[in-house]
């Protein structure tokens, strides 16, 4: 929508009624912040790989830590790079229902296959 560019070039100068999109215009992330976020993601990836190299790490510790790091990376990219954190709740609804649904449904399916029984 041209509204995006209009407001981003004029900042808060234009009067407008509060809308669901308000946050979008007041939360422009700077390029520098993006680079820092990318650095953080790279470090986290390195940590993930490093953790698998640790000899003697019990699986009960390894797998949860890998999953946690994966989830953090996932949500950082979605929330900041994809800007979902500062976007409309409707976008969050559409995406997270799909994501949540997928996780729940497929986990139940794998459970019936006794996948999670070690």
Partner 1 sequence: MSDTTTEPPLTPEPDAAAPAAPDEAIPAGFDDGQDHIGLVHHTATGLSNTKLAMWLFLGSECLLFGGLISTYMLYRNRQGDALGPDQLWDIPFTSATSFVLLMSSLTMVLSVSAAKRKDERGTRLWLTVTALLGGLFLAGQVYEFTVFYREGLGYTTSLFSSSFYTLTGFHGVHVAVGIIMLLALVGMLAKGRIVGDKAETVEMVGLYWHFVDVVWIVIFTLVYLVPA
Partner 2 sequence: MAIIERPSDTPALAGTSGVVTPSSSYGYFRRPVESTGWKSWAFTVDHKKIGIMYGVSAMVFFFIGGFEALLIRLQLAQPDGTILSADKYNQMFTMHATTMVFLFVMPMAAAFANYMMPLQIGARDVAFPRLNALSFWTFIFGGIFINTSWFLGGAADGGWFMYAPNSSVPFSPTNGVDFWTLGLLMTGVASQVGAVNLIVTALNMRAPGMTLMRMPIFTWMALVVQFLLLFAIPIITVALFLLLFQRNFDATFFNVAEGADPLLWQHLFWLFGHPEVYILVLPSFGIISEVLPTFSRKPLFGYPFVVFSGAAIGLVGFGVWAHHMFAAGLGPISVAVFSVATMAIAVPTGVKIINWTLTMWGGKLWFSTAMLFAVGLIVQFTVGGLSGVTHAVAPSDTQQTDTYYIVAHFHYVIFGGAVLGLFAGIYYWWPKVFGKMLNETWGRWNFWLMIIGMNLTFGPMHIIGLQGQPRRMYVWTENRAGEGFFNLGFWNLVSTIGSFILGVGALLFLVNIWVSRKNPPAPADPWDARSLEWITQNPPKEHNFDRTPTIHALDEFFHRKYEDVGEDGQHDYKQVRTGEQVIAEEEANADAHIHLPSPSYWPIILSFGMLVVCYGVIYSFLLLAVGAAICILALFGWALEPPTADDSEFDPPSDGGQPSKELAHV
20 belongs to the binding site for partner 2 (CB under 8 A): no
Buried b (16+ CB within 10 A) or exposed e, 4-24: eeebeeeeeeeeeeeeeeeeb
User: For residues 46 and 69, what is the distance between their CA atoms, to the nearest angstrom?
Assistant: 10
Question: Does the footprint of partner 2 cover residue 116 (CB under 8 A)?
Answer: no
* Least Cβ distance, residue 79 to partner 1 (angstroms): 11
Q: Is 56 left (phi over 0), alpha (psi -120 to 50) or beta?
A: left
Residue numbers 83-112 binding partner 2 by CB under 8 A: 90, 94, 97-98, 101, 105, 109, 111-112
The tokens for 114 are 């006794």
Q: Which residue has the tokens 């995006």?
A: 4
In order of 69, 82, 102, 105, the CA distances from 74 in angstroms are 9, 11, 15, 19
3 touches, from partner 2, partner 1, none (C-beta below 5 to 8 Å by class): partner 1
**Count of residues in contact with partner 1, rule CB under 8 A:** 63
Residues at the contact surface with partner 1, assessed by CB under 8 A? 1-9, 14-17, 19-21, 25, 28-29, 31, 34-35, 37-38, 41-42, 45-46, 48-49, 52, 59, 62-63, 66-67, 69-70, 73-74, 77-78, 81-82, 84, 88, 90-91, 94-99, 101-103, 105-106, 109-110, 113, 115
């Amino acid at each position: 929508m041209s509204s995006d560019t209009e407001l981003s070039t004029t900042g808060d100068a234009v009067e407008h009624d509060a809308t669901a999109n308000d946050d979008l215009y007041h939360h422009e992330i700077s390029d520098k912040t993006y680079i820092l976020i990318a650095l953080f993601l790279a470090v986290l990836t390195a940590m993930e790989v490093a953790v698998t190299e640790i000899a003697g790490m019990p699986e009960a510790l390894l797998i949860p830590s890998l999953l946690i790091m994966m989830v953090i990376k996932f949500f950082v990219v979605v929330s900041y790079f994809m800007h979902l954190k500062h976007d409309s709740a409707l976008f969050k609804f559409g995406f997270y229902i799909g994501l949540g649904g997928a996780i729940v449904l497929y986990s139940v399916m794998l459970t019936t296959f006794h996948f999670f029984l070690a």
